[in-house]
Amino acid sequence: MNWNSIFQQAISQAFGLNAVVFAMATIGLNVHFGYTGLLNFGHIGFVAMGGYGVGMAITTFGLNPYLGLLVGIIYALLFALILGVPTLRLRGDYLAIVTIAASEVFRIVVRSTTLAPLTGGNTGITAFAAPFYELNPFTERLYSFGPFFYTGPNLFMITIGWPLVILVTLGIWQLMRSPWGRVVKAIREDEDAARALGKNAYWYKLQSLMLGGAIGGLAGILLAIGNSTVQPDYFVPVQTFFLWAALILGGVGRIWSPIVGSMLFWALLTITDGVMRGLQSTGAIPSWLMDGPQVGQVRFMLVGLGLALLMVYRPQGIFGSRQEMMLDAR
């Protein structure tokens, strides 16, 4: 087995485009659940809004590409309003149901043949990212340095994406240590207590849903431009749960956990994949047990097992505080 190559791939993935997109999206999820206690089980829908927003703005509506970026964010904000306004007055589980349903409805609608002229149907939208790559200084096809290797376009998005992720993280950090952050955390703990003290819980929950949604939209924009395409079937519900996995891995409600959780998630996925393929090629995993494509599925089972073990041995995640976790159990 080539450990060197597995390690190289894992490191590249941990800092790669997937991890950037996951980190950004998970920051939004952390705003929702980690700080405000909103149960969002359709976060990938917000990511899709960002991607489709920028893609449709440029191809379908023929807007200026930079205006297209804004449209991506506006799509996500509108999605938050549509989901939040009717549900945030109700108990938390309503938001959970509505988010998961709405994100899946959106995917099915945009991939329909009827809407193909607008959304590209099941092949999605392509040919919108070119204007952004005019700025790309990494014109070669492949770049390799140290353990890292990336394509030119990917390297471009990574060098833009990570600083952006850090910037958004710092913004959230400031927000959560302000009185605004105190109100949303109070709502997470007990909404009625916050209301009894004169805080408009509904309005703060809506603000939080919009903020986290816009950050999810930003992740979708990075994804769309990084891949030069928006594919409807990327935005399946299971992606939402991978985002949750990354958040839980890092530790819910902690400022750096979306970044570290996402990097670890992608590194682990790559390592399990590499190891299983290695075992397969040496015959340690016989072909009657598992063939090539099945490895891709089994690695997610292993990640699931890993998360289950994490819940048993370190339920607070990497950054979480055990003391805080135990308070919750009372």
Task: List interacting residues with another protein (CB under 8 A).
Answer: 171, 174-175, 178-183, 185-186, 188-190, 192-201, 207, 211, 323-324, 327-328, 330
Nearest approach in angstroms of CB 170 to another protein is: 10
* Residue with smaller CB distance to another protein, 93 or 324: 324
CA 32 – CA 202 distance, rounded (Å): 13
Measuring CA to CA, which residue among 208, 56, 199, 32 is closest to residue 127?
A: 56
* Residue with smaller CB distance to another protein, 112 or 174: 174
Nearest approach in angstroms of CB 185 to another protein is: 6
Nearest approach in angstroms of CB 202 to another protein is: 8
* Residue with smaller CB distance to another protein, 200 or 281: 200
Are the C-beta atoms of 70 and 129 separated by less than 8 Å?
no
* Residue with smaller CB distance to another protein, 148 or 202: 202
DSSP per-residue string spanning 110-150: HTSSTTHHHH-GGG-EES-SHHHHTT-S--SSEEEETTEEE
Angle, in degrees to the nearest 10, between helices 179-189 and 152-176 = 80
Nearest approach in angstroms of CB 36 to another protein is: 13
CA 273 – CA 264 distance, rounded (Å): 14
Q: With the CA atoms of 199, 185, 44 and 55 taken in that order, what torsion angle do they form, in degrees rounded to the nearest 10?
A: 60
* Residue with smaller CB distance to another protein, 77 or 267: 77
Are the C-beta atoms of 90 and 83 separated by less than 8 Å?
no
* Residue with smaller CB distance to another protein, 191 or 273: 191
Nearest approach in angstroms of CB 273 to another protein is: 37
Are the C-beta atoms of 247 and 34 separated by less than 8 Å?
yes
CA 285 – CA 294 distance, rounded (Å): 12
* Residue with smaller CB distance to another protein, 108 or 329: 329
CA 157 – CA 180 distance, rounded (Å): 32
Nearest approach in angstroms of CB 203 to another protein is: 9
Nearest approach in angstroms of CB 176 to another protein is: 9
Nearest approach in angstroms of CB 208 to another protein is: 10
CB neighbourhood size of 202 (10 A)? 15
CA distances from 242 to 22, 26, 254, 265, 305 (A): 9, 10, 18, 8, 13
* Residue with smaller CB distance to another protein, 309 or 322: 322
CA 14 – CA 158 distance, rounded (Å): 11
Extended strands (E) in 153-278:
229-230
* Residue with smaller CB distance to another protein, 140 or 192: 192
CA 224 – CA 125 distance, rounded (Å): 9
Nearest approach in angstroms of CB 272 to another protein is: 34
